[in-house]
């Protein structure tokens, strides 16, 4: 029996693979692109499959042929590419989810873990969101996350699939290339670590809820390992920084460790239009904390920033 990770070549998928292999699990990584150098240290304990979520037989074969017991379904088009090509995003994120959850049903998969997103809530949320705040996404990416949550809940009720989901904030970590509204956080720290100046595409006072990739991995594993009887809410918010740090606060924290960092601000009108319409300030994640013990390891910038800098400088397989 094995554990399948879709989007397995992404930095969260790779991080999960290392953690699961350390726990003695056999891991299968399914992705549309392959980057075997990212799992070189565990290459004897993982299997890499190049496949496309849109292709139903490829999904079926991956689950059937590897006797998959549990699935981490991370594979997806991210927010900015999804907005640029919503038709492809629909096929990958919505149809692809249907392919994967049906494969899970047909071949008797036990647990199905689905990372959702706070993008599922949209913009008109009020200042605080809870696990029961009305989800009204404004992006095709957010729509796909709500679809996954609801279809997963249906399979949990109708077919007894142990479906569980958690909503990441904007995930930051080394090596992220895809543009997104929160990626100024990633790129400011990366450029600092590499001794480069950075032109930030938001204003100094802009803030966006973020999840450090190590806590995204940690929270995902915590949810996966929780006893089934503890899973009552099913789809959970997780939060790391309260309130979310501003771009200027991040800059000043980085300068505590790299004093010669040069940051200038040139706001992108398209990105700023999103931030100007956002009202969210706080994320209530008490149900994750109460039901399965969620607790971030990095809950302040002073701990996260030096760890991120060290990752960039010592793990080029993530940064490259």
Q: What is the DSSP string of 241-259?
A: SSSPPBHHHHHHHHHHH-T
CB of 223 closer than 8 Å to CB of 236: yes
The token duo for 197 is 């100046």
CB atoms within 10 A of CB 59: 25
Neighbour-count burial of 131, counting CB atoms closer than 10 A to its CB (0-12 exposed, 13-18 middle, 19+ buried): middle
Which ranges of the chain does DSSP label H, i.e. alpha helix? Answer: 11-22, 56-65, 79-84, 86-89, 96-106, 140-159, 183-193, 213-225, 247-257, 269-277, 286-292, 301-314, 316-319
Active site residue 141: yes
Select from 180, 178, 86 the least CA-distant residue to 140. Answer: 86
Strand segments, DSSP code E, in 169-290 are 170-172, 198-200, 210-212, 235-237, 263-265, 282-283
User: Three-class SS of residue 2?
Assistant: strand
The token duo for 24 is 């003695």
* Residue of 121, 141, 168, 212 marked catalytic: 141
Catalytic residues: 141
């Amino acid at each position: 029996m094995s554990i399948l990770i879709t989007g397995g070549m992404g930095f969260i998928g790779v991080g999960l693979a290392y953690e699961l292999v350390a726990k003695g699990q056999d891991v299968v990584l399914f992705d549309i692109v392959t980057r075997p150098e990212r799992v070189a240290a565990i290459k004897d304990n993982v299997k890499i499959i190049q496949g496309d979520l849109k292709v139903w037989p490829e999904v079926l074969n991956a689950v059937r042929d590897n006797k998959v017991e549990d699935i981490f379904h991370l594979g997806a088009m991210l927010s900015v590419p999804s907005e640029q090509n919503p038709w492809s995003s629909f096929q990958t994120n919505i149809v692809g989810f249907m392919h994967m959850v049906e494969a899970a049903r047909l071949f008797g998969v036990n647990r199905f873990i689905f990372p959702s997103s706070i993008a599922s809530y949209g913009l008109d949320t009020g200042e605080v969101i809870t696990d029961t705040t009305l989800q009204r996404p404004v992006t095709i990416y957010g729509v796909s996350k709500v679809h996954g949550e609801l279809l997963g809940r249906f399979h949990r009720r109708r077919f007894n699939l142990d479906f569980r989901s958690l909503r990441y904030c904007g995930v930051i970590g080394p090596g992220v290339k895809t543009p997104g509204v929160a990626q100024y956080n990633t790129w400011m720290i990366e450029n600092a670590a590499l001794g480069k100046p950075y032109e930030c595409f938001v204003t100094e006072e802009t803030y966006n809820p973020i999840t450090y990739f190590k806590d995204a991995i940690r929270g995902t594993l915590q949810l996966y390992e929780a006893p089934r009887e503890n899973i009552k809410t099913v789809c959970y918010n997780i939060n790391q920084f309260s309130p979310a740090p501003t771009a200027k606060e991040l800059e000043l924290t980085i300068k505590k460790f790299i004093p010669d960092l040069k940051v200038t601000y040139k706001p992108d009108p398209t990105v700023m239009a999103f931030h100007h319409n956002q009202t969210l300030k706080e994320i209530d994640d008490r149900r994750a904390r109460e039901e399965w013990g969620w607790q971030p390891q990095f809950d302040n910038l002073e701990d996260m920033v030096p760890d991120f800098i060290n990752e960039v400088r010592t793990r080029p397989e993530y940064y490259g």
